[in-house]
Structures are given as C-alpha cells and as structure tokens.
C-alpha cells in the first residue's frame, strides 16, 4: 500500500475515534447523577422547619424542588452556607432542612445536637445513621 493511502486511513481512523469519544463523553455527562434532572419528583420528601420563633412551622418539600430552590437562591446566601427557604406559613426566609424522628415524631433542624450526627433527635436521642452503622458493624462481625 502506498504511504499516502496509509496516512489517509490513519487520519480517518483517528478522527472517527475522536468523534466516538466525544459522543460517549457527551451522552454520559448529560446523564450525570449530580444533575437535578436525575432526581425524579415524588420519590423523596425533605422536612423543613421555620426558625421564626413566632411560627416554627414544619412542612415537607419534594427533594427536587428543594435543590432547585437552593440553586436559584445560592447567590443570595453567604459563601459556604445553605440559603433559607421561604416559609409557606409566615412568608419569611427562615425555613431550613429538618429531620423527623421515627421514634418520637419530633421535627427538628438537622444538627440540633452539637458535635453529634446530624439526625440525632434532641428529644429522645435516636439516630438512624447510628443504627445503620451498628447494623453494618454487626454484619461485618458475622462474616
């Protein structure tokens, strides 16, 4: 085969590989798990609690709606902080992510117990994270 034809074939193969790599990169990037579009509405709800002492309203918000709200309002919050959500009852920017204790039913702001797990209930002391860790440790011991 002539030297010129070999070079042309190599160039075509290289261009085809680059195009294929670009297509693969684009298609996997658009389906990224970090994308808000990957969070389906109605699959998970978050608890929120109003910090306004005259209100203290508790409500649930769809996970996707919550993260869309945060993305839209992130610039308004100080750096490295989570912007508050507008409380549907009092209308103030005072709603923050909360947990509902599966044991006693208390709705509390995440991280209410200082220097502890974020889901530790300040009323009864239960933590689902702690229970999951205990379960994992006991399963590893059984192996």
pLDDT digits (tens, 9 = 90+) for 42-62: 889 999 999 999 999 999 999
Calculate mean pLDDT across residues 26-33.
53
**Res. 127: pLDDT tops 50:** yes
Q: How far is CA 89 from the centre of its chain?
A: 25
Confidence of residue 79 (pLDDT cuts 50, 70, 90): confident
Confidence of residue 24 (pLDDT cuts 50, 70, 90): confident
pTM: 0.66
126: tokens are: 């239960």
- The whole-angstrom separation of Cα 92 and Cα 36 is 25
131: tokens are: 């229970």
Predicted local distance difference test score (pLDDT) of residue 80: 76
Calculate mean pLDDT across residues 115-137.
93
E strands, 19-116, in order: 45-50, 58-62, 85-86, 93-100, 107-109
Quick one: CA dihedral 47, 48, 53, 54, positive or negative? negative
Question: What is the residue whose two structure tokens read 């609690």?
Answer: 49
Calculate mean pLDDT across residues 113-133.
94
> If we measure between CA atoms, which residue out of 24, 83, 36 comes closest to residue 63?
36
- The whole-angstrom separation of Cα 82 and Cα 74 is 7
Calculate mean pLDDT across residues 125-129.
95
Length of the chain: 143
């Amino acid at each position: 085969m002539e030297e010129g034809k070999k070079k042309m074939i190599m160039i075509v193969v290289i261009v085809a590989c680059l195009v294929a790599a670009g297509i693969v990169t684009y298609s996997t990037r658009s389906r990224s798990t970090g994308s808000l579009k990957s969070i389906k509405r109605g699959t998970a709800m978050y608890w929120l609690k109003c910090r306004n002492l005259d209100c203290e309203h508790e409500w649930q918000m769809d996970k996707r709606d919550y993260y869309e709200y945060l993305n839209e309002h992130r610039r308004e919050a100080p750096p490295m902080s989570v912007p508050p959500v507008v409380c549907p009852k009092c209308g103030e920017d005072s709603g923050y992510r909360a947990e509902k204790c599966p044991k006693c039913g208390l709705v509390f702001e995440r991280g209410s117990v200082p220097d502890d797990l974020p889901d530790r209930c300040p009323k009864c002391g239960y933590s689902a994270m702690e229970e999951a860790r205990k379960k994992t440790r006991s399963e590893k011991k059984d192996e």
